[in-house]
Amino acid sequence: MRPDTPNSPQSDQPKQDPRFKTAHKEAWIGVALAIFNFIWWFGFAYGLGGRPVEEYTYILGLPDWFFWSCVVGFILMSIITVVLAKFVLTDMPLDDDPTYHPNPPNFSDKPAQKGPKS
């Protein structure tokens, strides 16, 4: 598909780039994560923080609402993104490569590396 004719009729293979399915899924993961992040942040900040100041307790010296909303919330998001990066998100070539199939036996971004039996 040429950049100047992105809608050109000659590229009429109906099937979608298989990589896009994964890409779409991962974009939705991003949206879901942001929503989760927001609920956590908002819930602790205004749930706990809405009490009268006299009722606050302090964790590591910080007000409890802030500790849970911003400190724990941040640490939690960091852990989630590390898990995502290591185990959930799929590696794929970014250049157009007609031989690419989803779920290859052993894809790495260094294609020169070959395992002993692959």
Partner 1 sequence: MNIGVLIPLIIFLIAIFAIGFIASKQMGSGGSFLQDYFLGGRELGGFVLAMTMVATYGSASSFLGGPGTAYTVGFGWALLAMTQVVTGYFVLLVLGKKFAILSRRYDAVTMIDFLKARYNSPAVAILSAIAIIVFLFSAMTAQWVGGGRLIESLTGLSYTSALFIFAVSVLVYVTIGGFRAVALTDAVQGAIMVVGTLILLIGVIIAGGGIPAIMQDLLNENPRLVTPFGADGSLTAAYVSSFWILVGVGVVGLPQMVIRTMSYKSSRAMHRALAIGTIVTGFIMLNMHLIGIFARPVLPGIEVGDKVIPLIALEVLPPWLAGIVLAAPMAAIMSTVDSLLLLVSSAIVKDVYLNFIKPDAPEKKIKILSFGITGVLGIVVFLLALQPPDLLIFLNLFAFGGLEAAFIWPIVLGLYWKHGNKYGAFLSMLTGIGSYIAIHFYNQEYGNLLGVHTVTIPVVLSLLAYLLGSLAIKREPFRF
Rounded alpha-carbon distances, angstroms, from residue 85 to 6, 44, 104:
32, 26, 18
Q: Identify the CA nearest to 63 among candidates 77, 75, 51.
A: 51
8 Å CB contact between 76 and 40: yes
Q: How, if at all, do strands 62-63 and 58-59 pair?
A: antiparallel
Q: Is 72 in the site for partner 1 (CB under 8 A)?
A: no
One of 62, 101, 102, 114 touching partner 1 (CB under 8 A): 62
How many residues line the site for partner 1 (CB under 8 A)?
59
Residues that bind partner 1 (CB under 8 A): 1, 3-4, 6-7, 11, 16-17, 19-20, 22-24, 26-27, 29-31, 33-34, 37-38, 41-42, 45-46, 49-50, 53, 56, 58, 60-63, 65-66, 69-71, 73-74, 77-78, 81-82, 84-86, 89-96, 108-109
